[in-house]
Amino acid sequence: MRRFSPWSEMAPHGISRRTLLRGGSAVGAALLLSGCAPVAAAPAPATPTPEPQPWDGGTGRPATRPSYGPNGTHYPAETPWMGEPATHELVADCSWIDISRKVQGLTAEQVAEGAVVRVRPGTLAGAGWTSSARPALSGVGSVGWDRKVLVVPLEGFGSVTVSDAGIRFDQCANLAFFGFLSSGGFALTRCAGIEIGWSRFAAANITRGGRDLSFYELVLGFRQNAEDTAGIRPTETFEMTGISRYGCTFGPSVKPAGSDAHCDTVQLEGTGTGTFGPFVNVDCVDYGSSNAAMLLHDRLSYAEYRHCMIIAGDLPWRVYPLRDGDYRGTPNAFSGGCGDVRLSDCIVSGAIGRLGFTVVERTALSYAPVRSQQPSISGGWSVDTSIAGWGGEQIMAPQELADYEVPTLRACWTW
């Protein structure tokens, strides 16, 4: 057993945690959704575009390697690689204002050639991560760009932290944020072509609308909080399409005993009328929260899981032990009413609810399902009741990382 405190290097208000057991071991830019004002291209800057600044570079771009959760290889193919000098290298002060200025000073041609904004060490301010919080960035980037502008810490993962108050990006487009650390959450409202990866935050709130939002080796959760670890909730007539995750780990949010909150790890709830989905997951690990690991609303077009672990029932608490005053639940692996859920090469522990499973291939389930839970198109569940008895070491064994402490992530995420 290894003592672990994922926020040990954060400010005093950061979240701490007691125990995580050591184990044995595309996004194209497009016009925003109908009824949603597009993010306009940046006007010509009043001053000349900043001259690129030389950067010596680091490691070569990794080849993607399958894993359960992060392994330092999941990275978007078309985004400039952090460890190589880009055609256009810029250095920003640790402020959203300077980051915005650097991004908006770029032309579409420069972005297409490859542009990176490297942020000096420090802490970026935040005003909250609700849908109405004052945004850290608003209208930055352009849906007309053919490529993402990469924003990354100059001196490696964790050298730039984000305020524990959290941040919101509103109506931003074609930006990639990698290598950030925060004990707060982030919100995306009406954004397009945003990538966030190789980062650790407390939670995520993706709402109003969005398109082509991707997450790479993003670590969330492992906290005492009655809110969902990640909420994806389109509203009104806005669409929420092209949501994908690669090599991510989302941990539990644990509500207090007596709370009537419905607390899930990932909750996809469509309260609006716009197109919703798909939701695609590759190489991800999700631990159930107080109520469920995955809540998939019946308005979601489909959800797909490839080589993922969904750890629910009693198992989350064998990795993230409950403490006095916590709600003691046995979360479902899946809940909700989505009519098209597809799994391949997955491990699932916990109840799978009344979802409409359509394709299930080479996927282990911790109990024998009833007939209505069998896939309607092809395949079938491989029942392995021993999974329900796994301890913390067995849960961690298939994963490449032994824990999600800051030092472990720093060793994994190098460039």
- Give the 3-state DSSP-derived string for the chain, with helices as H, strands as E and coil as C: CCECCCCCCCCCCCCCCCECCCCCCCCCCCCCCCCCCCCCCCCCCCCCCCCCCCCCCCCCCCCCCCCECCCCCCCCCCCCCCCCCCCEEEEECCCHHHHHHHHHCCCHHHHHHCEEEEECCEEECCCCCCCCCCCCEECCECCCCCCCEEEEECCCCCCEEECCCCEEEECCEEEEEECCEECCCEEEEEEEEEEEEEEECCCEEEEEEEEEEEEEEEEECCEECCCCCEEEEECCCCCEEEEEEECCEECCEECECCCCCCCEEEEECCCCCCCECCEEEECCEEECCCCEEEEECCCCCCEEEECCEEECCCCHHHHCCCCCCECCCCCEEEEECCCCEEEECCEEECCCCCCCEEEEEEEEECCCCCHHHCCCCEEEEEECHHHHHCCHHHHHCCECCCCCCHHHHHHHCCC
pTM of the model: 0.88
Return the residue matching tokens 């670590």: 219
Question: Could you tell me the CA-to-CA distances from 247 to 323, 362, 412 in Å, in that order?
Answer: 28, 19, 12
Contact 35, 274 (CB under 8 A): yes
Residue 147 in domain:
yes
Rg (CA), the chain: 21
Instruction: Give the whole-angstrom CA distance, residue 158 versus residue 156.
Output: 6
Inside any domain, residue 1: no
Q: 202 and 165 in contact (C-beta within 8 Å)?
A: no
Range of the domain at 166: 88-412
Residue 58, pLDDT score: 73
79, part of any domain: no
Tell me, what's the pLDDT at 57? 65
* 326 within 8 A of 343, measured Cβ to Cβ: no
The token duo for 91 is: 């250095």
Any domain includes 120: yes
Output the pLDDT for position 52: 56
Nearest to residue 150, comparing CAs of 99, 200, 201? Answer: 99
Q: How many CA atoms lie within 13 A of 164 on its CB side?
A: 10
Residues of the chain with pLDDT under 50: 1-48
Domains: count for the chain: 1
Contact 244, 214 (CB under 8 A): yes
State the pairing for strand pair 264-268/347-349. unpaired
Does some domain include residue 293?
A: yes
Cβ neighbours for 301, distance < 8 A, ≥ 6 positions apart = 275, 276, 277, 278, 340
Give the model's pLDDT for residue 33. Answer: 36
Task: Report phi then psi at 320, rounded to 5.
Answer: -125, 80
**271 within some domain:** yes
The pLDDT assigned to 332 comes to 99
Find all residues with CB under 8 Å of 35, minimum gap 6, and list them: 236, 237, 238, 274
Q: What span, in angstroms and rounded, lies between the C-alpha atoms of 12 and 159?
A: 17
Length of the chain: 415
CATH number at residue 168: 2.160.20
Structure tokens at 147: 């490529």
- Does residue 59 form part of some domain? no
Q: Per the structure block, which two tokens stand in for 20?
A: 């995580």
- Smallest CA-to-CA distance from 412 within 179, 86, 177 is with 179
Amino acid 31: pLDDT: 34
Q: Is residue 206, in this structure, part of any structural domain at all?
A: yes
Cβ 402 vs Cβ 22: under 8 Å: yes
